[in-house]
Amino acid sequence: MKILDSNKILAQSLSSGVQFSADYPVDNIADDNPRKCFMANSASATISLTLESGMSAIFISGVMADSLTLNISDTDNSLSITDVLDINVYSTNKWLNKNNDAKQKPNLQPYTRGTFSGTVLSSPITTDTTLSDYLMGAPDTLVLEANLTLGNGGADLVILVLGLSDSDNTIENDWDGSSLGAGTATLSLESSTDLKGSPVEGNSIHQWDQSSGATGRFEDSSGDAINIFDHSNMHVGSIITIGGSDYQVNQIVGDGTGVADITLSGSVADATITSVKNPVRIGIFQASSVIEIENPQLGISKALQDFSIRKPLNNGGYQETQKNVINIFTCNLIVPIAQANNILDFYHAYRSKPFPVQVLNDLASDQSEAFNFSGFFYMIDAPEMVSADFSGSYQNLTFNIREVV
């Protein structure tokens, strides 16, 4: 289990793109409310971050974009990495996406400083040695007391490097290294997929029907109004291309079927719609140090809480409105006393404050632990600690966490 406990981001700013409005500044990514998000006024944006030393992982939540690229530069150690992050949706089942704008799962990824992974020779060499690697590492001075053969007689060139330095180390997407030094990062987001023809229910969006100025509604090819709830791929901030120009949805009233229920960012007459793209949006971004403890024991409980509205009618009918679904984990762990005390100290510091966590790690790759077992959670109540042996060296630790979306 990994808990992100101290955000190392000192400052954030926009290096490209502009905020959608004063309600969606880039500083919102440092807030603990995933719905209080940053949103851009175009189909792409790049966020620049200043990092202090000690980062070992990043957490992203509330993303709406088709591509996400992270660049990290550890200036203390002259290291850098560029990583194209996976965009992992909750479900390909279109009905599960209805009236739910949290379509992309939270993502928790490690970034640590790994040491040189090539072959390192020890000095002196006392037995005959043949090197067939492309690149070899060695001490500053290599004393030969036996034969050293470079290459195996093939066409491959073998280079013997004497001496290793920090520049031979790398930033790696794993938990095995040490935390990064101070530096910078950039996060680039882009929306490119046309969604006008991808309704969850009902017809595709075909045209804009102007009421007056920037108000109107979206219609299908027959001139019938598009129900925004049914379509479910239209949001405040969505980017609408009409006649070669981009507009954004500033306001949606009700289900959007009224003649003036939609307000765009500018006035546009009746016209065919070229494309509809998701807004570029991100709720939370953290680059943090990590508290690491043992995985919960066999039998860990994962439950779903559904906030959908269910209303039986007095005539036998039924009404429903689909809302968000969250995860709840019940965690029982047997851990060394030091790890247990770390969690108690963490609770004293955070109490009701939410935090990023990866509940299970070191799973098989097809389990997608970075998505399926990660999220933004708070402790429902204080953790409980009970001695697991007579010496008190190990503790049975129990706590429950509830997701925030």
Q: pLDDT of 181-223, one tens digit each? A: 999 999 999 999 999 998 988 999 999 999 999 999 999 999 9
> Is 238 domain-assigned?
yes
CATH number for the domain spanning 89: value is 2.60.120.260
Q: Tell me the one-letter amino acid at 169.
A: N
Do 152 and 99 share a structural domain?
no
Do 32 and 179 share a structural domain?
yes
Do 398 and 334 share a structural domain?
yes
Do 345 and 396 share a structural domain?
yes
- 271-277 and 207-212 beta bridge pairing: antiparallel
Do 13 and 110 share a structural domain?
yes
Distance CA 287, CA 87 (A): 18
Do 125 and 103 share a structural domain?
no
Residue 240, pLDDT score: 97
CB 373 within 8 A of CB 366: no
> Is 200 domain-assigned?
no
Do 395 and 373 share a structural domain?
yes
> Is 201 domain-assigned?
no
> Is 202 domain-assigned?
no
Residue 321, pLDDT score: 82
CB 66 within 8 A of CB 191: yes
Do 177 and 62 share a structural domain?
yes
Do 158 and 104 share a structural domain?
no
Distance CA 344, CA 350 (A): 10
> Is 349 domain-assigned?
yes
Do 27 and 100 share a structural domain?
yes
Distance CA 322, CA 317 (A): 17
Half-sphere exposure of 212 (CA within 13 A, CB side): 0
Residue 193, pLDDT score: 93
For 336, the domain range is 293-403
> Is 322 domain-assigned?
yes
Do 178 and 216 share a structural domain?
no
Secondary structure (3-state) at 369 = helix
If one counts the domains in the chain, the total is: 4
Distance CA 24, CA 255 (A): 23
For residue 88, give both structure tokens. 């992992």
Which residues of the chain are modeled with pLDDT < 50? 93, 95
Do 397 and 301 share a structural domain?
yes
pTM metric for this prediction? 0.82
Distance CA 62, CA 82 (A): 21
Residue 95, pLDDT score: 46
> Is 92 domain-assigned?
yes
| Residues making up the chain, counted from first to last | 405
> Is 154 domain-assigned?
yes
